[in-house]
């Protein structure tokens, strides 16, 4: 399966999903005007990856900020990763800045949604 790489813009995050190098990262900020349009190819890719995932998947969220629409899609990503974890090892790394209590709290909320191994990483 090939990599999915989408460069960041002022409104959309960088997506770097590369199963050959076990790199799965979403970073920057997520404020797309049309979240459905932006995230549609991301979820198509994840659904395909779910069919033949790596034995171990480390998934990093390095978001500075995201809006409510994006929060729904992040929740959906966590649920897909949770389903992968039924037969394969999955770990989520949630990065947040020391002064950003909101992003830390969001990481805690996503952590509570799932039984996945989940690490909050202060940067």
52, 1 in Cβ contact below 8 A?
yes
**Full-prediction pTM beyond 0.85?**
yes
Domain ranges of the chain: 4-122
pLDDT tens digits along 11-25: 999 999 999 999 999
Topology (CATH level 3) of domain 4-122: Transcription Regulator spoIIAA (3.30.750)
Q: Judging by beta carbons within 10 Å of its beta carbon (0-12, 13-18, 19+), is residue 80 exposed, middle or buried? A: middle
pLDDT tens digits along 71-122: 999 999 999 999 999 999 999 999 999 999 999 999 999 999 888 999 999 9
Residue 50 has pLDDT above 90, yes or no: yes
């Amino acid at each position: 399966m090939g990599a999915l790489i989408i460069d960041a813009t002022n409104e959309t995050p960088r997506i770097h999903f590369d199963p050959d190098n076990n790199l799965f990262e979403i970073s920057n900020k997520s404020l797309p005007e049309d979240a459905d349009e932006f995230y549609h190819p991301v979820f198509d890719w994840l659904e395909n990856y779910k069919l033949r995932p790596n034995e171990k998947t480390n998934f990093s969220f390095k978001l500075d900020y995201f809006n409510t629409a994006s929060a729904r899609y992040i929740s959906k990503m966590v649920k897909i990763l949770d389903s992968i974890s039924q037969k394969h090892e999955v770990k989520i790394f949630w990065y947040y800045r020391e002064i950003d209590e909101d992003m830390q709290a969001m990481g805690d909320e996503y952590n509570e949604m799932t039984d996945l191994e989940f690490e909050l990483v202060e940067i």
